[in-house]
Structure 1
Amino acid sequence: MTWKSFHRRGEVLRTVIAAADTRRDGTLPLDVDGVAETFPDALSLLGALQLRWHTRLSGRIERELMNQPMDLEQAVVTAWQQTAEELPGVRSIVDHYRDQPLDEGMAVAMAKAAAKEHVLLAVMAGRAGAHDEASAAREGARIEASARAKYRPFRQFTQPAPEPGILDRIRAALAA
């Protein structure tokens, strides 16, 4: 991969993430400009989104553990929720294709990715060791379920009404 294609791939991926965050329908935005030229198939795009999720989650966990070192599990839960808040479209895509993969290859890839994420959650929460992946994956799945149970996706933020400007005040005074 050349330096130019590397940057182009990153640019297309950012555009895909922005589209996913806007749509929040859980489907891969394969219609975004540059996707067909940059990603050979849906699994490649999904893998890039999964990697973005995992990387952001890992970094967020590290930050939360620095801020909240006494309650490791709560730090991991908070990190998962904050990452889901930052990447709601990516999270919905990952969830959708984890539950409804397009083919057997995607099913295998998503199962592996989910297991790796669960191991990460369990190990970072201090609930399991990396040497026992099966129990760590089970414990991580429990932690993810806990994070999801307390998470309210797609919060709608209301913007405060803007302060009236000088013209608005003059109009109000003239109308009175």
Structure 2
Amino acid sequence: MSVINEELTMTWKSFHNRGETLRAVIETANTRLDARLPMDVDGVAETFGDELTLLGALQLKWHTRLSGHVEQQLLSQPMDLERAVVAAWIAAYDELPGVRALLDHYRSHPLDDEMGWAMARATVKERVLLATMAGQSGIGDLAGAPIGARIEESARATRAARPVPTVHTLAPQRPSFMDRLRSVLAA
């Protein structure tokens, strides 16, 4: 039984360390705003290994944040779906400008064919999501990608008309259920 507990502890430690390292990477990217993967952040090489894996984690963070903002905006603007999706994209950008800059840079300038393929695939999926959530395409319908590209451009143009943020930090994370449970058990 102790072997299982050790494996779970190591798994939890790895997960926790990965999250801490990713938060540090995001904070660094948002501060630098230089569109370069911050491979120099402590723990990146050990946790992510290479640029593609780190970029994939950042892509997932962006997608998750964008999806969350889309859901929030659709609750407050259910009658104007496209406007809600544009507002959601802008909100995600405002929270993760360094991440968005990285994604844009490596979409245009991938380090290799594998990264180029991964970024192209992620871009299509994001644009299909935008079109679908704006009510202009079906779920998983690749024909929605050009519509999503237009919505993305509208969001970028709207965002460009606003002042550029200088320094961003992540909002403090609310303790997870597991963190709260651990503190109760420790007390």
Gaps of 5+ in 2: 1-9, 168-187
Name the residue aligned to 2:165: 155
5+ unaligned residues in a row in structure 1: which ranges?
158-176
Amino acid in the other structure paired with 2:80 = D
* TM norm structure 2: 0.81
Q: What is the Cα-based RMSD across aligned positions, in Å? A: 1.3
Check conservation: 2:66, 2:88, Cα contact below 8 A: yes
What is the letter of the counterpart of residue 72 of structure 2? Answer: R
Q: Following TM superposition, where does structure 1 have runs of at least 4 consecutive aligned residues deviating by more than 2 angstroms?
A: 152-157
SS state at 1:2 partner = helix
Tell me, yes or no, if structure 1 residue 10 matches structure 2 residue 19: yes
Alpha-carbon distance in structure 1 between the residues aligned to 2:166 and 2:29: 16
Name the count of aligned residue pairs: 156
What is the match of residue 7 of structure 2?
Answer: none
- Name the residue aligned to 1:85: 94
Q: Which amino acid aligns with 2:153?
A: A
8 Å contact from structure 1 (residues 30, 42) kept in 2: yes
Is 1:96 matched up with 2:105? yes
Contact kept in structure 1, 2:128 and 2:141, CA below 8 Å: no
Letter in 1 for 2:139: A
Normalised to the residue count of structure 1, the TM-score between the two structures is 0.86
The answer on 1:45 being equivalent to 2:54 is: yes
Tell me the percent identity.
Answer: 63
Displacement of 1:130 after TM fit?
A: 1.9
| Aligned residue runs from structure 1 range 49-88, under 5 A | 49-88=58-97
Deviations 1:86-136 (A, max 9, x none): 001100000000010000000000000000000100000001112531x21
* 1: CA distance, partners of 2:166 / 2:63: 25
Show the 5 A alignment for 1:97-176: 97-133=106-142, 135-152=143-160, 154-156=164-166
Say if 1:28 and 1:93, in contact at 8 Å, map to a contact too.
Answer: yes
